[in-house]
Amino acid sequence: MHSDKDIKYHLDTLCAKDIPSPEKTHAHVLPIHATSAFTYVSIEDSINVFQGKSEGFVYSRYGNPTLQAVEQKLALLETFGTDYTAGCILTSSGLSAISTMAMSFVSQGDAVLTQADLYGGTTELFNKVVAKAGVQVLTVDLNDLDLVESTLKANTHIKLIYLETPTNPTLKCIDIEAIGSLAKKYKVKSAIDNTFSTFYLQQPFTLGIDIVVYSTTKFLNGHGNSIAGAIILKDKSLRKQVWDVMKLMGTNCNAWDAWLLHNGLKTLTLRMDKHCSNATAIAQYLEGHSKVKKVNYPGLASHSTHPQASKQMRQYGGMLSFEIEGGFPTAVNFMDNTKLCAITATLGNVDTLLLHPASSSHLNIPKEIREASGIEDGLIRMSVGIENPDDLISDIEQALA
């Protein structure tokens, strides 16, 4: 803004005019830059910023100081203990992170190789949106490594392998290192949804994965008060390629949600330790209950992919699912009878949350595909909170009675 301290303006002009920030010292807490655009001291300054000759911000859809600070923090956290210099882009939601990432690396005539047992919204995204752009979506059991390799060999137009581990909601774990190795062998990009584990429990970059995506709405934020997503790229030079797609698709995050995410990150390690210990206690309790048919938790020795989880996770996470005897009616009855647990379509909060996948997150997935992935009508997903575990077990016990 040009200097105008000697000009006398009318009252209505003064009402409409912003004044320079009076801040003379640095704020201790990251400020919220609630602005849609940014000003320049001169047109020359504007030209240099637009042409990339000098650093600066243009428009908050392109970038914003609050967003940039949180992106840098996430990139640092994701690569903790490594030599990688990652790039990060915040988006408006976890699903927008997946869609933006996918459209950055595949186009008409290409193919994505993925698994059938993804979060329902991701499956719909690939089959109903990405496929419409002329991209073939191939699904295989990603733990059948011979099948993965033969599929890659037979389909040279595969440009991206996309995986989710542990899976939502059966908590099946996939061999990340093996998938990363095959991706490199066949020169395709690999991307993983690391929402359930976070970088605190699982570091996909160290296992050969190229791209990590998050619904930061979940454990990273942890308090259920904002929606956002993140794309983190092990090769920072790829950030511009993804940024171009984000900017043009308009999938950007905003300063308020980024700031709330930043606040949540401060307690992530404390919360995750408690989520994990509580989930372990509840999984063990459920496994011994006569009315529970099956418990899906990677920390249980009975879980089909427990050895794989032990190999690539530091702890087993705060998510579990369990199938109640009697199917749909008993599952609904259990959820209606809980008093401490909340019924809601999210996860990763400090309080314990329940979801019935067959009637919600996987409602639009064909029944035969859903059940083939272990998502039966009696299955309940539980996002275990940080409450006292004795209170949680008491609530579960009375609801099952």
What count of residues does the chain have? 401
Residues near 351 by Cβ (< 8 Å), separated by ≥ 6?
342, 385, 386, 387
The Cα–Cα gap between 230 and 9 comes to 45
Order of strands across the sheet with 87-91? 87-91, 229-233, 211-215, 189-193, 158-164, 111-114, 136-139
What residues does 136 pair with on adjacent strands?
111
Residues near 333 by Cβ (< 8 Å), separated by ≥ 6?
none
**Rg of the Cα trace of the chain?**
23
Q: Which of 110, 117, 175, 193 is catalytic?
A: 193
Concerning whether 61 is annotated as a catalytic residue, the answer is: yes
Write out the DSSP string of 149-187: HHHHHH-TTEEEEEEESS-TTT-----HHHHHHHHHHTT
- Residue found by looking up tokens 């909340």 in the block: 342
The Cα–Cα gap between 135 and 255 comes to 33
Concerning whether 193 is annotated as a catalytic residue, the answer is: yes
Q: Which of 119, 162, 214, 297 is catalytic?
A: 119
Concerning whether 200 is annotated as a catalytic residue, the answer is: no
Q: For 10-94, where are the E strands, in sequence order?
A: 87-91
Asked if residue 122 lies in contact with residue 193, where contact means CB atoms within 8 angstroms, the answer is yes
Q: Which of 159, 172, 189, 218 is catalytic?
A: 218
- Residue found by looking up tokens 């939502």 in the block: 168
Concerning whether 210 is annotated as a catalytic residue, the answer is: no
Active-site residue list: 61, 119, 193, 218
